[in-house]
A and B are shown apart, each in its own frame.
Chain A
Amino acid sequence: MTRKRREALAAYAFLAPDTIGLLLFVAIPMVLAFGVAFFKVDGFGNYQYVGLANYKLMAGDDQLWASLKVTATYVVAFVPIAFVVSFALAMLVRNHFKGIGWVRSAFFLPNVVSLVVVGLIWQFLLVDKQGALSKLLAPLGLGDVSFLGTPSLALGTYVVISVWFLMGYQMLVFLAGLKDVPKELEDAAEIDGAGPWQRFRYVIWPLLRPTSFFVVVNSTIGAVTGLQAFDLVFVLTKGGPARATSTVVLYIYEQAFTFNNMGYAAALTTVVVAILVVCTGLMFGFTRGGRFDED
Protein backbone atom coordinates (compact mmCIF):
# COMPACT_ATOMS: atom_id res chain seq x y z
CA MET A 1 0.00 0.00 0.00
CA THR A 2 1.35 3.40 -0.94
CA ARG A 3 2.09 5.95 1.70
CA LYS A 4 -0.60 8.25 0.35
CA ARG A 5 -3.25 5.57 0.64
CA ARG A 6 -2.14 4.67 4.14
CA GLU A 7 -2.38 8.28 5.20
CA ALA A 8 -5.87 8.64 3.72
CA LEU A 9 -7.12 5.45 5.36
CA ALA A 10 -5.73 6.54 8.71
CA ALA A 11 -7.44 9.92 8.33
CA TYR A 12 -10.82 8.35 7.61
CA ALA A 13 -10.43 6.07 10.61
CA PHE A 14 -9.62 9.05 12.85
CA LEU A 15 -12.59 10.95 11.50
CA ALA A 16 -15.08 8.10 11.62
CA PRO A 17 -16.46 8.36 15.19
CA ASP A 18 -17.21 12.09 15.07
CA THR A 19 -18.43 12.08 11.49
CA ILE A 20 -20.86 9.25 12.12
CA GLY A 21 -22.01 10.87 15.35
CA LEU A 22 -22.56 14.27 13.75
CA LEU A 23 -24.42 12.67 10.85
CA LEU A 24 -26.64 10.65 13.13
CA PHE A 25 -27.37 13.26 15.78
CA VAL A 26 -27.19 16.56 13.88
CA ALA A 27 -27.34 16.22 10.10
CA ILE A 28 -29.94 13.47 9.80
CA PRO A 29 -32.29 15.07 12.35
CA MET A 30 -31.96 18.35 10.47
CA VAL A 31 -32.93 16.73 7.17
CA LEU A 32 -35.53 14.56 8.87
CA ALA A 33 -37.38 17.64 10.11
CA PHE A 34 -38.20 18.50 6.51
CA GLY A 35 -39.56 14.99 5.93
CA VAL A 36 -41.54 14.65 9.16
CA ALA A 37 -43.18 18.01 8.39
CA PHE A 38 -45.30 16.20 5.78
CA PHE A 39 -46.72 13.76 8.32
CA LYS A 40 -49.16 13.75 11.14
CA VAL A 41 -47.54 11.84 13.98
CA ASP A 42 -49.63 10.62 16.88
CA GLY A 43 -48.60 9.81 20.43
CA PHE A 44 -47.87 6.20 19.54
CA GLY A 45 -45.46 7.09 16.78
CA ASN A 46 -47.80 6.31 13.88
CA TYR A 47 -47.06 8.40 10.82
CA GLN A 48 -49.77 9.50 8.43
CA TYR A 49 -48.89 11.42 5.26
CA VAL A 50 -50.74 14.72 5.15
CA GLY A 51 -48.85 16.67 2.49
CA LEU A 52 -48.75 20.39 3.16
CA ALA A 53 -51.48 20.27 5.82
CA ASN A 54 -49.06 21.16 8.62
CA TYR A 55 -47.93 24.25 6.75
CA LYS A 56 -51.53 25.25 6.01
CA LEU A 57 -52.32 24.96 9.72
CA MET A 58 -49.77 27.66 10.47
CA ALA A 59 -51.71 30.41 8.72
CA GLY A 60 -54.53 30.25 11.24
CA ASP A 61 -52.36 29.51 14.26
CA ASP A 62 -52.53 32.71 16.30
CA GLN A 63 -50.25 31.32 18.98
CA LEU A 64 -47.54 30.73 16.40
CA TRP A 65 -47.72 34.31 15.18
CA ALA A 66 -47.75 35.55 18.75
CA SER A 67 -44.65 33.52 19.58
CA LEU A 68 -42.88 34.71 16.43
CA LYS A 69 -43.65 38.27 17.47
CA VAL A 70 -42.37 37.60 21.00
CA THR A 71 -39.17 36.15 19.56
CA ALA A 72 -38.68 39.06 17.16
CA THR A 73 -39.28 41.62 19.92
CA TYR A 74 -36.86 39.77 22.15
CA VAL A 75 -34.15 39.71 19.47
CA VAL A 76 -34.61 43.37 18.56
CA ALA A 77 -34.27 44.41 22.21
CA PHE A 78 -31.76 41.89 23.44
CA VAL A 79 -29.13 41.87 20.68
CA PRO A 80 -28.30 45.61 20.70
CA ILE A 81 -28.48 45.95 24.49
CA ALA A 82 -26.26 42.92 25.05
CA PHE A 83 -23.89 44.28 22.40
CA VAL A 84 -23.57 47.72 23.96
CA VAL A 85 -23.32 46.45 27.53
CA SER A 86 -20.70 43.81 26.81
CA PHE A 87 -18.70 46.15 24.59
CA ALA A 88 -18.74 48.82 27.29
CA LEU A 89 -17.58 46.25 29.84
CA ALA A 90 -14.76 45.15 27.53
CA MET A 91 -13.59 48.76 27.13
CA LEU A 92 -13.83 49.17 30.90
CA VAL A 93 -11.62 46.19 31.72
CA ARG A 94 -9.39 46.51 28.68
CA ASN A 95 -6.44 48.11 30.42
CA HIS A 96 -4.74 46.69 33.43
CA PHE A 97 -5.63 47.92 36.90
CA LYS A 98 -5.61 46.52 40.38
CA GLY A 99 -8.09 43.69 40.86
CA ILE A 100 -8.81 43.31 37.15
CA GLY A 101 -8.82 39.51 37.39
CA TRP A 102 -11.62 39.51 39.91
CA VAL A 103 -13.58 42.12 37.96
CA ARG A 104 -13.46 40.13 34.72
CA SER A 105 -14.44 36.93 36.54
CA ALA A 106 -17.29 38.69 38.26
CA PHE A 107 -18.80 39.73 34.94
CA PHE A 108 -18.35 36.23 33.57
CA LEU A 109 -19.65 34.37 36.63
CA PRO A 110 -23.38 34.54 35.74
CA ASN A 111 -22.57 32.68 32.51
CA VAL A 112 -21.16 29.76 34.50
CA VAL A 113 -24.39 29.11 36.36
CA SER A 114 -27.08 27.14 34.55
CA LEU A 115 -30.06 28.94 33.01
CA VAL A 116 -32.30 26.94 35.32
CA VAL A 117 -30.54 28.41 38.34
CA VAL A 118 -30.47 31.84 36.71
CA GLY A 119 -34.24 31.63 36.27
CA LEU A 120 -34.78 30.66 39.89
CA ILE A 121 -32.46 33.39 41.18
CA TRP A 122 -34.37 36.12 39.38
CA GLN A 123 -37.72 34.70 40.27
CA PHE A 124 -36.68 34.88 43.89
CA LEU A 125 -35.30 38.41 43.57
CA LEU A 126 -38.50 39.55 41.87
CA VAL A 127 -41.10 37.89 44.12
CA ASP A 128 -43.87 40.48 44.40
CA LYS A 129 -43.20 42.93 47.24
CA GLN A 130 -41.02 40.49 49.18
CA GLY A 131 -38.13 39.89 46.77
CA ALA A 132 -34.88 41.77 47.36
CA LEU A 133 -35.11 43.59 44.05
CA SER A 134 -38.73 44.52 44.62
CA LYS A 135 -37.70 46.01 47.96
CA LEU A 136 -34.76 47.85 46.39
CA LEU A 137 -37.09 49.33 43.80
CA ALA A 138 -39.76 50.31 46.33
CA PRO A 139 -38.30 53.81 46.96
CA LEU A 140 -38.68 54.46 43.23
CA GLY A 141 -42.36 53.63 43.50
CA LEU A 142 -41.83 50.32 41.72
CA GLY A 143 -42.21 48.13 44.78
CA ASP A 144 -45.68 46.90 43.84
CA VAL A 145 -44.82 46.11 40.25
CA SER A 146 -45.01 42.44 39.37
CA PHE A 147 -42.24 42.26 36.79
CA LEU A 148 -42.78 38.66 35.76
CA GLY A 149 -46.52 38.68 36.29
CA THR A 150 -47.39 41.64 34.06
CA PRO A 151 -47.58 40.79 30.35
CA SER A 152 -46.18 44.14 29.23
CA LEU A 153 -43.15 43.86 31.54
CA ALA A 154 -42.31 40.16 31.51
CA LEU A 155 -40.47 40.17 28.18
CA GLY A 156 -38.44 43.24 29.15
CA THR A 157 -37.47 41.57 32.41
CA TYR A 158 -36.45 38.52 30.46
CA VAL A 159 -34.23 40.70 28.23
CA VAL A 160 -32.49 42.21 31.27
CA ILE A 161 -31.85 38.77 32.78
CA SER A 162 -30.50 37.44 29.46
CA VAL A 163 -28.13 40.40 29.19
CA TRP A 164 -26.88 39.76 32.71
CA PHE A 165 -26.34 36.11 31.81
CA LEU A 166 -24.53 36.67 28.52
CA MET A 167 -22.59 39.92 28.97
CA GLY A 168 -19.48 38.32 30.47
CA TYR A 169 -19.11 35.90 27.60
CA GLN A 170 -19.50 38.60 24.96
CA MET A 171 -17.14 40.82 26.92
CA LEU A 172 -14.46 38.16 26.60
CA VAL A 173 -15.05 37.90 22.86
CA PHE A 174 -14.66 41.68 22.55
CA LEU A 175 -11.54 41.61 24.71
CA ALA A 176 -10.02 39.05 22.38
CA GLY A 177 -10.88 41.31 19.44
CA LEU A 178 -9.45 44.36 21.16
CA LYS A 179 -6.18 42.53 21.67
CA ASP A 180 -5.77 42.51 17.91
CA VAL A 181 -6.03 46.29 17.66
CA PRO A 182 -2.37 47.35 17.41
CA LYS A 183 -1.41 49.71 20.21
CA GLU A 184 0.85 51.58 17.77
CA LEU A 185 -2.12 52.58 15.63
CA GLU A 186 -3.87 54.10 18.61
CA ASP A 187 -0.68 55.84 19.74
CA ALA A 188 -0.11 57.19 16.26
CA ALA A 189 -3.64 58.57 16.20
CA GLU A 190 -3.10 60.17 19.59
CA ILE A 191 0.08 61.86 18.39
CA ASP A 192 -1.87 63.16 15.41
CA GLY A 193 -4.19 64.80 17.92
CA ALA A 194 -7.08 62.34 17.99
CA GLY A 195 -9.10 62.47 21.21
CA PRO A 196 -10.49 59.35 22.92
CA TRP A 197 -13.71 59.49 20.88
CA GLN A 198 -11.87 59.85 17.57
CA ARG A 199 -9.47 57.04 18.44
CA PHE A 200 -12.48 54.89 19.22
CA ARG A 201 -14.40 55.91 16.09
CA TYR A 202 -11.59 55.75 13.56
CA VAL A 203 -9.17 53.17 14.96
CA ILE A 204 -10.80 50.73 17.35
CA TRP A 205 -14.30 50.50 15.90
CA PRO A 206 -13.35 49.70 12.26
CA LEU A 207 -10.80 47.10 13.35
CA LEU A 208 -13.35 45.42 15.58
CA ARG A 209 -15.81 44.81 12.78
CA PRO A 210 -15.19 41.06 12.42
CA THR A 211 -15.60 40.63 16.17
CA SER A 212 -18.78 42.70 16.18
CA PHE A 213 -20.16 40.64 13.34
CA PHE A 214 -19.48 37.44 15.23
CA VAL A 215 -21.12 38.81 18.38
CA VAL A 216 -24.25 39.98 16.55
CA VAL A 217 -24.72 36.73 14.60
CA ASN A 218 -24.00 34.64 17.66
CA SER A 219 -26.37 36.48 19.96
CA THR A 220 -29.10 36.59 17.31
CA ILE A 221 -28.92 32.85 16.76
CA GLY A 222 -28.81 32.38 20.53
CA ALA A 223 -31.83 34.59 21.05
CA VAL A 224 -33.92 32.92 18.33
CA THR A 225 -33.03 29.28 18.88
CA GLY A 226 -30.51 29.09 21.71
CA LEU A 227 -30.95 27.43 25.06
CA GLN A 228 -31.58 30.85 26.49
CA ALA A 229 -34.80 31.07 24.46
CA PHE A 230 -35.95 27.81 26.02
CA ASP A 231 -34.45 27.02 29.44
CA LEU A 232 -34.86 30.49 30.86
CA VAL A 233 -38.45 30.94 29.70
CA PHE A 234 -39.36 27.43 30.78
CA VAL A 235 -38.18 28.09 34.33
CA LEU A 236 -39.17 31.74 34.65
CA THR A 237 -42.63 32.03 33.18
CA LYS A 238 -43.41 28.95 31.07
CA GLY A 239 -44.30 31.41 28.31
CA GLY A 240 -46.76 33.41 30.39
CA PRO A 241 -48.29 35.62 31.56
CA ALA A 242 -50.85 35.54 28.75
CA ARG A 243 -48.15 34.03 26.48
CA ALA A 244 -46.20 37.28 26.63
CA THR A 245 -42.91 35.37 26.83
CA SER A 246 -43.75 32.38 24.65
CA THR A 247 -40.73 32.16 22.35
CA VAL A 248 -41.01 30.17 19.17
CA VAL A 249 -38.75 27.35 20.42
CA LEU A 250 -40.85 27.03 23.56
CA TYR A 251 -43.93 26.85 21.36
CA ILE A 252 -42.36 24.13 19.21
CA TYR A 253 -41.50 22.18 22.35
CA GLU A 254 -45.09 22.47 23.60
CA GLN A 255 -46.51 21.33 20.28
CA ALA A 256 -44.17 18.33 20.20
CA PHE A 257 -44.14 17.15 23.78
CA THR A 258 -47.24 18.59 25.45
CA PHE A 259 -49.71 18.17 22.58
CA ASN A 260 -47.86 15.36 20.79
CA ASN A 261 -48.04 17.13 17.43
CA MET A 262 -44.61 15.98 16.26
CA GLY A 263 -45.37 16.55 12.58
CA TYR A 264 -46.57 20.09 13.16
CA ALA A 265 -43.58 20.76 15.42
CA ALA A 266 -41.26 19.53 12.66
CA ALA A 267 -42.96 21.85 10.16
CA LEU A 268 -42.48 24.75 12.60
CA THR A 269 -38.83 23.76 12.92
CA THR A 270 -38.30 24.07 9.17
CA VAL A 271 -39.83 27.55 9.20
CA VAL A 272 -37.51 28.66 12.00
CA VAL A 273 -34.52 27.28 10.10
CA ALA A 274 -35.62 29.21 7.01
CA ILE A 275 -35.98 32.42 9.04
CA LEU A 276 -32.53 31.92 10.56
CA VAL A 277 -30.91 31.31 7.19
CA VAL A 278 -32.50 34.48 5.80
CA CYS A 279 -31.50 36.54 8.86
CA THR A 280 -27.90 35.36 8.82
CA GLY A 281 -27.76 35.93 5.06
CA LEU A 282 -29.09 39.46 5.43
CA MET A 283 -26.61 40.29 8.18
CA PHE A 284 -23.84 38.84 6.10
CA GLY A 285 -24.95 40.95 3.14
CA PHE A 286 -25.28 44.18 5.12
CA THR A 287 -21.92 43.85 6.78
CA ARG A 288 -20.10 42.04 4.00
CA GLY A 289 -19.30 39.26 6.43
CA GLY A 290 -17.79 41.68 8.89
CA ARG A 291 -14.87 42.53 6.67
CA PHE A 292 -13.43 45.98 7.00
CA ASP A 293 -11.69 46.36 3.66
CA GLU A 294 -13.76 49.30 2.42
CA ASP A 295 -12.48 51.58 5.20
Chain B
Amino acid sequence: MTRIRIVPILAHVLAIIAVAPLLWILISALRPAEDVFSFGWPRHWTLSNLQYVLLKIPMPRFMLNSAIVSVTVTVIALFFHSMAAYALARLRFPGRGIIFSGIMSTLLVSLPVILVPLFLVAKQLGLLDSYAGLIVPSIFHAFGIFLLRQYYLNIPRELEEAADLDGCGYWRRYWSVILPLSRPVLASLSVLFFLANWNAFLWPLTITRNPDLRVIQLGVSGMQGQYASAWNLILAAAVIAAIPTVVVFVAGQRRLVDAMKTTGLK
Protein backbone atom coordinates (compact mmCIF):
# COMPACT_ATOMS: atom_id res chain seq x y z
CA MET B 1 0.00 0.00 0.00
CA THR B 2 2.70 2.48 0.94
CA ARG B 3 4.40 1.89 -2.42
CA ILE B 4 1.31 3.04 -4.21
CA ARG B 5 1.08 6.25 -2.19
CA ILE B 6 4.68 7.25 -2.68
CA VAL B 7 4.27 7.53 -6.45
CA PRO B 8 1.60 10.27 -6.46
CA ILE B 9 3.43 12.31 -3.84
CA LEU B 10 6.72 12.05 -5.70
CA ALA B 11 4.95 12.97 -8.94
CA HIS B 12 3.36 16.06 -7.41
CA VAL B 13 6.64 17.22 -5.88
CA LEU B 14 8.50 16.78 -9.17
CA ALA B 15 5.71 18.55 -11.05
CA ILE B 16 6.05 21.55 -8.76
CA ILE B 17 9.82 21.57 -9.30
CA ALA B 18 9.27 21.39 -13.07
CA VAL B 19 7.00 24.44 -13.21
CA ALA B 20 8.85 26.38 -10.50
CA PRO B 21 11.08 28.28 -12.97
CA LEU B 22 7.99 29.45 -14.87
CA LEU B 23 6.18 30.54 -11.73
CA TRP B 24 9.33 32.24 -10.50
CA ILE B 25 9.68 34.53 -13.51
CA LEU B 26 5.98 35.35 -13.33
CA ILE B 27 6.38 36.44 -9.71
CA SER B 28 9.64 38.26 -10.43
CA ALA B 29 8.10 40.17 -13.31
CA LEU B 30 5.55 41.54 -10.87
CA ARG B 31 8.14 42.81 -8.39
CA PRO B 32 9.38 46.42 -8.27
CA ALA B 33 12.63 46.87 -10.21
CA GLU B 34 14.84 47.03 -7.11
CA ASP B 35 13.39 43.80 -5.72
CA VAL B 36 13.70 41.71 -8.87
CA PHE B 37 16.29 39.42 -7.27
CA SER B 38 14.53 39.20 -3.89
CA PHE B 39 14.21 35.66 -2.81
CA GLY B 40 11.04 35.57 -0.69
CA TRP B 41 7.41 36.19 -1.47
CA PRO B 42 7.06 39.75 -2.85
CA ARG B 43 6.20 42.41 -0.28
CA HIS B 44 4.95 44.68 -3.04
CA TRP B 45 3.34 43.72 -6.30
CA THR B 46 3.48 46.00 -9.31
CA LEU B 47 2.28 46.07 -12.86
CA SER B 48 4.70 48.83 -13.82
CA ASN B 49 7.14 46.45 -15.55
CA LEU B 50 4.41 45.08 -17.78
CA GLN B 51 3.09 48.58 -18.35
CA TYR B 52 6.50 49.88 -19.35
CA VAL B 53 7.10 47.06 -21.79
CA LEU B 54 3.65 47.43 -23.35
CA LEU B 55 3.74 51.21 -23.63
CA LYS B 56 7.38 52.22 -24.13
CA ILE B 57 8.50 49.34 -26.30
CA PRO B 58 6.54 48.37 -29.42
CA MET B 59 5.58 45.09 -27.75
CA PRO B 60 1.97 45.33 -29.00
CA ARG B 61 3.35 45.69 -32.51
CA PHE B 62 5.52 42.59 -32.07
CA MET B 63 2.53 40.67 -30.73
CA LEU B 64 0.38 41.79 -33.62
CA ASN B 65 3.02 40.66 -36.11
CA SER B 66 3.27 37.28 -34.42
CA ALA B 67 -0.50 36.95 -34.30
CA ILE B 68 -0.82 37.77 -38.01
CA VAL B 69 1.90 35.31 -38.97
CA SER B 70 0.77 32.49 -36.65
CA VAL B 71 -2.90 32.70 -37.54
CA THR B 72 -2.31 33.02 -41.29
CA VAL B 73 0.17 30.15 -41.38
CA THR B 74 -2.14 27.96 -39.30
CA VAL B 75 -5.20 28.56 -41.46
CA ILE B 76 -3.48 28.17 -44.83
CA ALA B 77 -1.40 25.20 -43.69
CA LEU B 78 -4.41 23.32 -42.36
CA PHE B 79 -6.27 23.95 -45.60
CA PHE B 80 -3.43 22.79 -47.86
CA HIS B 81 -2.47 19.87 -45.62
CA SER B 82 -6.01 18.55 -45.37
CA MET B 83 -6.34 18.71 -49.17
CA ALA B 84 -3.10 16.82 -49.68
CA ALA B 85 -3.96 14.34 -46.94
CA TYR B 86 -7.38 13.73 -48.48
CA ALA B 87 -5.82 12.83 -51.82
CA LEU B 88 -3.20 10.60 -50.19
CA ALA B 89 -5.66 8.78 -47.98
CA ARG B 90 -8.76 8.42 -50.12
CA LEU B 91 -7.95 8.75 -53.80
CA ARG B 92 -6.20 6.30 -56.13
CA PHE B 93 -3.81 7.71 -58.68
CA PRO B 94 -0.54 6.82 -60.39
CA GLY B 95 2.52 7.80 -58.36
CA ARG B 96 0.75 7.81 -55.02
CA GLY B 97 3.45 5.81 -53.26
CA ILE B 98 6.26 7.95 -54.63
CA ILE B 99 4.56 11.24 -53.80
CA PHE B 100 3.76 10.02 -50.30
CA SER B 101 7.33 8.90 -49.56
CA GLY B 102 8.66 12.07 -51.12
CA ILE B 103 6.54 14.20 -48.83
CA MET B 104 7.43 12.09 -45.79
CA SER B 105 11.16 12.26 -46.51
CA THR B 106 11.06 16.03 -46.07
CA LEU B 107 10.28 15.35 -42.41
CA LEU B 108 13.96 14.55 -41.89
CA VAL B 109 14.98 18.07 -42.87
CA SER B 110 14.87 20.62 -40.07
CA LEU B 111 14.99 24.36 -40.55
CA PRO B 112 18.52 24.95 -39.25
CA VAL B 113 19.81 22.44 -41.80
CA ILE B 114 18.39 24.23 -44.83
CA LEU B 115 18.53 27.73 -43.39
CA VAL B 116 21.22 29.09 -45.69
CA PRO B 117 19.88 27.76 -49.02
CA LEU B 118 16.29 28.52 -47.95
CA PHE B 119 17.35 32.09 -47.32
CA LEU B 120 18.85 32.24 -50.82
CA VAL B 121 15.63 30.85 -52.36
CA ALA B 122 13.48 33.28 -50.39
CA LYS B 123 15.73 36.14 -51.47
CA GLN B 124 15.38 35.12 -55.13
CA LEU B 125 11.60 35.09 -54.73
CA GLY B 126 11.66 38.59 -53.28
CA LEU B 127 10.44 37.43 -49.88
CA LEU B 128 13.07 39.28 -47.85
CA ASP B 129 11.72 41.65 -45.22
CA SER B 130 8.05 41.04 -45.85
CA TYR B 131 5.06 39.38 -44.22
CA ALA B 132 5.06 36.96 -47.13
CA GLY B 133 8.62 35.99 -46.23
CA LEU B 134 7.59 35.29 -42.65
CA ILE B 135 4.46 33.40 -43.67
CA VAL B 136 4.89 31.46 -46.91
CA PRO B 137 7.93 29.25 -46.15
CA SER B 138 6.48 28.42 -42.72
CA ILE B 139 3.35 26.89 -44.21
CA PHE B 140 4.92 23.80 -45.70
CA HIS B 141 5.63 20.97 -43.33
CA ALA B 142 4.90 17.30 -43.84
CA PHE B 143 4.01 16.60 -40.23
CA GLY B 144 0.47 17.95 -40.59
CA ILE B 145 -0.08 16.08 -43.85
CA PHE B 146 1.03 12.85 -42.20
CA LEU B 147 -1.23 13.25 -39.17
CA LEU B 148 -4.28 14.20 -41.23
CA ARG B 149 -3.70 11.31 -43.61
CA GLN B 150 -3.66 8.87 -40.69
CA TYR B 151 -6.95 10.33 -39.55
CA TYR B 152 -8.57 10.20 -42.97
CA LEU B 153 -7.60 6.56 -43.46
CA ASN B 154 -9.97 5.68 -40.63
CA ILE B 155 -13.06 7.44 -41.95
CA PRO B 156 -15.57 4.83 -43.19
CA ARG B 157 -15.88 4.59 -46.98
CA GLU B 158 -19.67 4.52 -46.86
CA LEU B 159 -19.88 8.18 -45.91
CA GLU B 160 -18.11 9.23 -49.06
CA GLU B 161 -19.99 6.72 -51.18
CA ALA B 162 -23.29 8.23 -50.13
CA ALA B 163 -22.08 11.63 -51.27
CA ASP B 164 -20.85 10.05 -54.50
CA LEU B 165 -24.32 8.63 -55.19
CA ASP B 166 -25.76 12.09 -54.63
CA GLY B 167 -23.57 13.19 -57.52
CA CYS B 168 -20.94 15.07 -55.52
CA GLY B 169 -17.56 15.57 -57.18
CA TYR B 170 -14.30 15.09 -55.35
CA TRP B 171 -14.21 18.69 -54.16
CA ARG B 172 -17.69 18.49 -52.65
CA ARG B 173 -16.83 15.19 -50.99
CA TYR B 174 -13.74 16.75 -49.45
CA TRP B 175 -15.40 20.01 -48.50
CA SER B 176 -18.79 18.77 -47.28
CA VAL B 177 -18.00 15.30 -45.97
CA ILE B 178 -14.35 14.93 -44.98
CA LEU B 179 -13.59 18.41 -43.72
CA PRO B 180 -16.50 18.63 -41.26
CA LEU B 181 -15.57 15.17 -39.97
CA SER B 182 -12.01 16.24 -39.32
CA ARG B 183 -12.81 19.08 -36.95
CA PRO B 184 -11.23 17.40 -33.90
CA VAL B 185 -7.91 16.67 -35.60
CA LEU B 186 -7.87 20.12 -37.22
CA ALA B 187 -8.39 21.65 -33.79
CA SER B 188 -5.46 19.66 -32.37
CA LEU B 189 -3.23 20.70 -35.23
CA SER B 190 -4.22 24.33 -34.99
CA VAL B 191 -3.04 24.40 -31.37
CA LEU B 192 0.22 22.82 -32.43
CA PHE B 193 0.75 25.09 -35.43
CA PHE B 194 -0.13 28.22 -33.53
CA LEU B 195 2.35 27.40 -30.78
CA ALA B 196 5.13 26.54 -33.21
CA ASN B 197 4.69 29.76 -35.17
CA TRP B 198 4.21 32.02 -32.17
CA ASN B 199 7.44 30.58 -30.77
CA ALA B 200 9.37 30.80 -34.03
CA PHE B 201 12.66 32.64 -33.73
CA LEU B 202 15.29 31.44 -36.20
CA TRP B 203 13.38 32.02 -39.44
CA PRO B 204 12.06 35.50 -38.51
CA LEU B 205 15.58 36.39 -37.37
CA THR B 206 16.94 35.35 -40.74
CA ILE B 207 14.32 36.76 -43.10
CA THR B 208 13.58 40.18 -41.52
CA ARG B 209 15.67 43.26 -40.77
CA ASN B 210 12.88 45.84 -40.66
CA PRO B 211 11.97 46.62 -37.02
CA ASP B 212 8.31 46.99 -38.02
CA LEU B 213 8.23 43.33 -39.02
CA ARG B 214 9.74 42.10 -35.78
CA VAL B 215 7.83 39.20 -34.25
CA ILE B 216 7.45 38.73 -30.51
CA GLN B 217 10.35 36.31 -30.03
CA LEU B 218 12.71 38.70 -31.80
CA GLY B 219 11.37 41.56 -29.74
CA VAL B 220 11.94 39.68 -26.51
CA SER B 221 15.42 38.52 -27.41
CA GLY B 222 16.23 42.08 -28.49
CA MET B 223 15.37 43.28 -24.98
CA GLN B 224 18.33 41.28 -23.77
CA GLY B 225 20.81 43.41 -25.68
CA GLN B 226 19.05 46.72 -25.24
CA TYR B 227 18.17 46.52 -21.57
CA ALA B 228 21.13 44.36 -20.63
CA SER B 229 20.48 44.11 -16.92
CA ALA B 230 17.04 45.66 -16.49
CA TRP B 231 15.82 42.20 -15.59
CA ASN B 232 12.43 43.45 -14.43
CA LEU B 233 11.71 44.62 -17.99
CA ILE B 234 13.22 41.59 -19.71
CA LEU B 235 11.11 39.30 -17.53
CA ALA B 236 7.99 41.33 -18.18
CA ALA B 237 8.55 40.92 -21.92
CA ALA B 238 9.22 37.19 -21.51
CA VAL B 239 6.01 36.78 -19.53
CA ILE B 240 4.04 38.65 -22.18
CA ALA B 241 5.50 36.38 -24.87
CA ALA B 242 4.74 33.26 -22.86
CA ILE B 243 1.21 34.02 -21.67
CA PRO B 244 -0.56 33.38 -25.00
CA THR B 245 1.20 30.04 -25.36
CA VAL B 246 0.26 28.93 -21.87
CA VAL B 247 -3.34 30.04 -22.42
CA VAL B 248 -3.55 28.22 -25.76
CA PHE B 249 -1.99 25.16 -24.16
CA VAL B 250 -4.37 25.08 -21.23
CA ALA B 251 -7.37 25.65 -23.49
CA GLY B 252 -6.33 23.11 -26.12
CA GLN B 253 -4.46 20.73 -23.85
CA ARG B 254 -6.40 17.56 -24.51
CA ARG B 255 -6.30 18.12 -28.25
CA LEU B 256 -2.61 18.89 -28.20
CA VAL B 257 -1.84 15.77 -26.21
CA ASP B 258 -3.85 13.68 -28.67
CA ALA B 259 -1.89 15.08 -31.58
CA MET B 260 1.46 14.64 -29.83
CA LYS B 261 0.72 11.04 -28.98
CA THR B 262 0.23 10.17 -32.62
CA THR B 263 3.55 11.74 -33.63
CA GLY B 264 5.37 9.21 -35.72
CA LEU B 265 4.12 6.29 -33.73
CA LYS B 266 1.28 4.80 -35.66
* Residues of A near any B CB (own CB < 8 A): 4, 6-8, 10-12, 14-15, 17-19, 21-22, 24-30, 32-33, 36, 45, 89, 92-93, 95, 97-100, 102-110, 112-117, 119-122, 124-125, 127, 130-132, 135, 164, 167-169, 172-173, 175-177, 210-211, 214, 218, 221-222, 225-227, 229-231, 234-235, 249, 252-253, 256-257, 262, 265-266, 269, 272-273, 276, 280
A-B contact pairs, 29 of them (CB 8 A): A11-B96, A14-B84, A15-B83, A15-B84, A17-B80, A18-B84, A18-B103, A21-B80, A25-B140, A28-B117, A29-B118, A45-B123, A92-B10, A98-B8, A99-B12, A107-B14, A110-B22, A112-B245, A112-B248, A113-B242, A114-B199, A114-B217, A117-B242, A124-B231, A222-B110, A234-B205, A235-B221, A252-B115, A265-B116
Are B21's CB and A36's CB within 8 A? no
Are B120's CB and A19's CB within 8 A? no
Grouping DSSP codes into helix (H, G, I), strand (E, B) and loop, the A interface class, with mixed when no group exceeds half, is: helix
Using known A-B contacts A8-B93, A116-B221, determine if residue A14 contacts B83 with beta carbons closer than 8 Å. Answer: yes
Across the interface, name the chain B residue whose C-beta is closest to A6. B170
A-B contact count (CB 8 A): 270
Contacts of A167 in B (CB 8 A): 18
Are A120's CB and B261's CB within 8 A? no
Are A22's CB and B201's CB within 8 A? no
Are B117's CB and A33's CB within 8 A? yes
State whether the Cβ of B50 lies closer than 8 Å to any Cβ in chain A. Answer: no
Are A113's CB and B114's CB within 8 A? no
Are B15's CB and A124's CB within 8 A? no
Contacts of B8 in A (CB 8 A): 97-100
Using known A-B contacts A12-B93, A32-B121, A109-B246, determine if residue A124 contacts B18 with beta carbons closer than 8 Å. Answer: no
Contacts of A32 in B (CB 8 A): 117, 120-121
Grouping DSSP codes into helix (H, G, I), strand (E, B) and loop, the B interface class, with mixed when no group exceeds half, is: helix
Contacts of A120 in B (CB 8 A): 25, 220-221, 224, 234-235, 238
Are A109's CB and B18's CB within 8 A? yes
State whether the Cβ of B136 lies closer than 8 Å to any Cβ in chain A. Answer: yes
Minimum CB–CB distance from B20 to chain A (whole Å) comes to 9
Against A, the Cβ 8 Å flags (1 = close, 0 = not) of B10-39 are 111011101101101100100000000101
Are B249's CB and A112's CB within 8 A? yes
Are A8's CB and B94's CB within 8 A? yes
- Which of A15, A164, A222 is B88 in contact with, Cβ under 8 Å? A15
Q: How far is the CA of A30 from the CA of B111 in the complex (A)?
A: 10
Across the interface, name the chain A residue whose C-beta is closest to B241. A117
| Given A121-B238, A177-B265, 10 new contacts (CB under 8 A) | A11-B93, A14-B83, A26-B106, A29-B118, A92-B14, A95-B7, A125-B24, A172-B260, A234-B221, A253-B115
Are B14's CB and A89's CB within 8 A? yes
Are A173's CB and B263's CB within 8 A? yes
State whether the Cβ of B108 lies closer than 8 Å to any Cβ in chain A. Answer: yes
Minimum CB–CB distance from A120 to chain B (whole Å) comes to 5
Are A22's CB and B106's CB within 8 A? yes
In chain B, positions 105-150 with a C-beta closer than 8 Å to chain A are 106, 108-123, 136-137, 139-140, 142, 145
Are B110's CB and A124's CB within 8 A? no
Are A14's CB and B113's CB within 8 A? no
Are B201's CB and A30's CB within 8 A? no
Contacts of B235 in A (CB 8 A): 120, 124
Q: How far is the CA of A145 from the CA of B77 in the complex (A)?
A: 46
Contacts of B83 in A (CB 8 A): 14-15, 17-18
Against A, the Cβ 8 Å flags (1 = close, 0 = not) of B177-199 are 00000000000000000010011
Minimum CB–CB distance from B204 to chain A (whole Å) comes to 11
Across the interface, name the chain A residue whose C-beta is closest to B27. A132
Report which residue of B24, B260, B261 has the largest number of chain A beta carbons within 10 angstroms of its beta carbon. B260
